[in-house]
């Protein structure tokens, strides 16, 4: 039996229980989604967008994992902004930007059974940030398919953090699809922070649709993980909008972090920025593929994309692929990437002052990725992240399976 077939069988087995607890609009798309998945199959390394990781291997043998259908312990929030399965909202937006042409998104659409909804109303300004923490706590190996819908209506503003954590060391595989709709004149700062453990495998698919005069800042921070694939797609649909996709990654041991981003300028007069920084150490693998697409007629597009990386050990690997695809003639676009080592001269300077080599390396790595954190507008979050990065580098955030150092 093929790997795909085992997931199709799993779907057939779960179909009724999924339907029983799900909103109507999610159910109507399931069968079609599993058909799309069956058609496409798990992407292999031959698929351009997935060339840096082995997706079939990631899913191999996981179909036997328990797949609980918990209902999230979500209390209706203070401002009435967060809810579970808001049917009116789902009817308007569910699966409207996520694309089942991607087999993993299709798999998620088939299997996810509830949707966290964040709805910020017209001209509503959330003065305090929202943090959703997803803590993996299962005592069994587990598979999860999660779905989040974020809608900012016209003129709304919000700051939202999605945090992924892990309490124990069971094997977890998750797919997650996040759909984000940012209305005209709306402002969104969105943070994704992963600090899970080495036996977590995560496929995170984020689709953002951005209206006119809107501003979106997406920050994607991977502090600790197993295998992570983030697909971040921003579709600029209204003129005079601005999008930034920033991220930083720290990976060592045999961690794998693959960030694949797309910024699609579909209309004129928009601006986009991208800054991703990685430090890969020991045997870790980092990959960054960032495409900026400027459609025909999207004049006056301004875009800059930077990916800078440090391979701190000889065994660590970094793949970087910034891409520009431009079909308009009046644009200002730049992109660049670098892969380097830690600065030997700076290391020696610090050692001459008595700073031990390991600590000197740590200070340099911290400084390198810290630049991404410095761009974060929320001061307390910035401070907290700097501290977390420092702890991470000191090994205080280490969580890995069977590692004597971390017990």
Partner 1 sequence: MLEIKNLHAKVDGKEILKGVDLTIHDGEIHALMGTNGAGKSTLSNVIVGNPKYEVTQGTITFNGKDLLAMSPEERSHEGVFMSFQMPVEIPGVSMTNFMRAAVNARREALGQELLKATDFLKLMHDTQKLVDIDKKLVSRSVNEGFSGGEKKRNEIFQMAMLQPTFCILDETDSGLDVDALRVVAEGFNRLRTEQTSALVITHYQRLLDYIRPDIIHVLLDGKIVKTAGAELAKEIEERGFDWIKE
Residues in contact with partner 1 by the rule CB under 8 A? 343-346, 348-357, 359-360, 363-364, 366-368, 370-371
What separation in angstroms does the CA of 99 have from each of 104, 187, 298, 345, 376?
Answer: 10, 24, 23, 48, 29
CB of 277 to partner 1, least distance (A): 11
CB of 379 to partner 1, least distance (A): 16
Residue with Cβ nearer partner 1 (54 or 359): 359
- Between CA 54 and CA 52 the distance in angstroms is 7
Residue with Cβ nearer partner 1 (207 or 368): 368
Residue with Cβ nearer partner 1 (367 or 401): 367
Residue with Cβ nearer partner 1 (58 or 280): 280
CB of 345 to partner 1, least distance (A): 5
- Between CA 85 and CA 364 the distance in angstroms is 45
Residue with Cβ nearer partner 1 (38 or 363): 363
3-class DSSP assignment, residue 55:
helix
Residue with Cβ nearer partner 1 (356 or 377): 356
Of 39, 43, 87, which Cα lies nearest the Cα of 175?
A: 43
CB of 217 to partner 1, least distance (A): 21
The whole-angstrom distance between residue 378's C-alpha and the CA centroid of its chain comes to 20
Q: Which residue has the tokens 């997706």?
A: 55
| Sheet with strand 256-265: strands edge to edge | 82-84, 116-120, 142-152, 172-182, 200-210, 227-236, 256-265, 285-294, 317-326
Residue with Cβ nearer partner 1 (75 or 352): 352
∠ CA 194-399-135, nearest 5°, is: 45
- Between CA 28 and CA 89 the distance in angstroms is 15
What separation in angstroms does the CA of 346 have from each of 281, 351, 363?
Answer: 18, 9, 10
CB of 175 to partner 1, least distance (A): 35
Beta bridge partners of 176: 146, 204
CB of 367 to partner 1, least distance (A): 3
CB of 404 to partner 1, least distance (A): 24
Residue with Cβ nearer partner 1 (117 or 249): 249
Residue with Cβ nearer partner 1 (163 or 386): 386
Residue with Cβ nearer partner 1 (186 or 373): 373
The burial of 284, by beta-carbon neighbours within 10 Å (0-12 exposed, 13-18 middle, 19 or more buried), is given as buried
Contact 103, 140 (CB under 8 A): no
CB of 176 to partner 1, least distance (A): 32
DSSP-derived secondary structure letter, 125: B
**Structure token pair of residue 172:** 């977890």
Residue with Cβ nearer partner 1 (1 or 345): 345
Contact 211, 238 (CB under 8 A): yes
- Between CA 214 and CA 236 the distance in angstroms is 9
Q: Is the dihedral of CA 33, 36, 42, 45 positive or negative?
A: negative
- Between CA 336 and CA 349 the distance in angstroms is 29
């Amino acid at each position: 039996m093929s790997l795909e077939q085992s997931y199709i069988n799993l779907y057939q087995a779960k179909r009724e229980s999924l339907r029983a607890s799900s909103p109507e609009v999610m159910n109507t798309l399931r069968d079609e989604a599993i058909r799309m998945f069956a058609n496409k199959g798990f992407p292999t390394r031959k698929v351009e967008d997935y060339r840096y990781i082995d997706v079939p291997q990631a899913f191999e043998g996981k179909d036997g994992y328990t797949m609980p259908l918990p209902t999230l312990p979500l209390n209706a929030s203070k401002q009435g902004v967060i809810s579970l399965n808001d049917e009116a909202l789902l009817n308007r937006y569910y699966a409207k930007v996520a694309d089942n042409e991607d087999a993993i998104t299709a798999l998620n659409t088939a299997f996810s059974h509830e949707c966290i909804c964040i709805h910020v109303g017209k001209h509503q300004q959330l003065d305090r940030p929202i943090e959703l923490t997803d803590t993996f706590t299962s005592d069994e190996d587990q598979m999860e398919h999660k779905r989040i819908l974020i809608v900012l209506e016209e003129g709304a503003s919000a700051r939202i953090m999605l945090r992924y954590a892990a309490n124990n060391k069971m094997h977890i595989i998750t797919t997650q699809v996040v759909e984000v709709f940012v209305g005209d004149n709306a402002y969104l700062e969105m943070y994704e922070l992963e600090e899970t453990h080495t036996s977590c495998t995560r496929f995170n698919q984020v689709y953002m649709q951005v209206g006119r005069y809107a501003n979106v800042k997406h920050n994607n921070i991977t502090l600790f993980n197993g295998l992570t694939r983030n697909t971040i797609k921003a579709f600029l649909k209204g003129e005079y909008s601005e999008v930034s996709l920033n991220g930083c990654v720290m990976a060592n041991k045999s961690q794998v972090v693959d960030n694949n981003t797309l910024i699609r300028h579909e209309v004129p007069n928009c601006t986009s920025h991208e800054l991703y920084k990685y430090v890969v150490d020991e045997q870790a693998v980092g990959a960054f593929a960032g495409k900026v697409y400027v459609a025909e007629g999207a004049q006056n597009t301004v875009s800059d994309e930077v990916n800078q990386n440090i391979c701190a050990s000889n065994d660590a690997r970094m793949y970087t692929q910034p891409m520009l695809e431009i079909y308009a003639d009046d644009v200002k676009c730049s992109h660049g990437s670098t892969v380097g080592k830690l600065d030997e001269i700076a290391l020696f300077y610090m050692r001459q002052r008595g700073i031990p080599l390991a600590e000197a390396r740590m200070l340099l790595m911290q400084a390198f990725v810290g630049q991404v954190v410095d761009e974060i507008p929320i001061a307390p979050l910035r401070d907290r992240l700097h501290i977390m990065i420092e702890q991470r580098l000191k090994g205080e955030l280490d969580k890995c399976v069977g590692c004597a150092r971390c017990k």
